[in-house]
Structure 1
Amino acid sequence: MRKPNSLPPAGLFTRNGVRFAVACGVFAMILLYLPIVGLILLSFSAQPLTGIPWPLTIEWYTSLFEGENARWLKPLATSVGIGLLVSFSATAAALLIGRAVPLARRSGSLLATYLSVIVMPGILIGIAILIFYRGLIGIRTGFWSVFLAHFIWALPFALLCILIVVVRFDRRLLDAARDLGAGRLRRFLDVELPLLMPGISASLFFSFLLSFNELPRTLYARGGIITLPYYLWTASSSHSTQVSLIYALSAVITVASFLLTLAAMRLLTRKE
């Protein structure tokens, strides 16, 4: 018997329609996560290049820090350093922009301008930075050109994280604080900043991950800088003895990125 308050399914939301939608979602998740799970399984294989996860071993994980196998540590430090710098700078810029966009007259057009970078090909952005900043301005490719490319890529996503919490912010709270004598800085620190913190935290996480995993834009702007994604890309396409270690290293990075993404989503969707 149907519950009194329940509504009968209508249109596409029939029982069979819901089952079909769920099946499509499950199939999409299988396509997404099956290669990732396969990569993690092969990282424990004694012969991962064969594609057979047997016999099992942890040799590749223990070898990651031995001798020449530890050459990935310097690219890791470079990626972490650039990622942290991009994370804080993109979040700070997004916080300034995000607080102003809803108050602008043509907020829709302004927002579309900032978010247009998302749909632009990464290689196009990398070539543009290479030609413009190096050819016309004279900035050498290297650390700061990579930072600039990553900043351009991370800023729209950081802005989205900030806007999600900004549009729900009740500006009457600022008016009340002003009536009580609070200055502009005090209103921001005591009233606005705590309520925007979930979006700020998510922006920090996503900006770092976008920079940490970025490759297409880095290819043209890196100069002599070797980031971890670039190191993994070159090592996996070579015929050196480190190819098998890439499975273990990729599995570690995948799990760490997945956990950071879950933490960011948790902060972004957290209810007060």
Structure 2
Amino acid sequence: MTLLDNRARTGAVARINPVAKLAASALIALPLILTIDWVSASVALALECVLFLFAGLGWREFWLRTWPVWIAAPLTALTIALYGQASGHIYVEWLVLRISDGSLALALATFFRVLAVALPSVVLFVTVDPTDLADGLAQIVRLPARFVLGALAGLRMVGLFLDDWRAIELARRARGVADRGRIRRFVGMAFALLVLSIRRGSKLATAMEARGFGAPVRRTWARASTFGGREWALVAIGAAVSAIAVTASVAAGTWNFILGPS
């Protein structure tokens, strides 16, 4: 575990059950997915920025974790501004490119919407341990244990796949077969990693079966996953953020229900 991960787990949010984080993220995202307007998204984003202070993330780690979101949001808004539905005054029109009042308003709403939906998901799940999440999904949400444990085992293998890729690359370089033909080299390494992954997956499945992971009996858990007051408080905060954002949007007259009649 890296130093940044250790620091991330010192915040108050880090000790909350991952199922509550998942529920809070869903509650915040749901109304923002159902509407495209800048008021609800910007209000939700402002409230989220206050909550980010309690996540236990330093500014450096915050930017390291969320920089893809900050790149995706303006790029998405730019695409909407250039090719979105035109309405009102048209400023630029060239072939399929059309910039108008409507497309610019839509681009602004999309920009805030992407940030408001993606940022809390990233920040909340920075402190999630995969094993804790699996315990919560199996014990609290009551998902099938075989599915949860299989997904957890697969997730744990991602780091090994990265190490295998580096080992294969170094081995090929040592044999002098990695100096030219980048596409052919990539295809060869990908096939080798696929074969290695299948072999490892088969061994892992056999080992888990031998240890009784597929037994048709009620499973016991080494660690109990609890859902208490802190978890309910986080879920309530997520619901409150959504309610305030929707109320502000309706009051401002900008609510735009995307599933409604056009």
TM-score in same-fold range (> 0.5): no
| Bigger helix share | 1
The TM-score bracket by the shorter chain reads: under 0.3
Normalising by structure 2, we get a TM-score of 0.28
Normalising by structure 1, we get a TM-score of 0.27
Instruction: Flag the structure with more relative contact order, 1 or 2, with Cα contacts below 8 A and sequence separation at least 6.
Output: 2
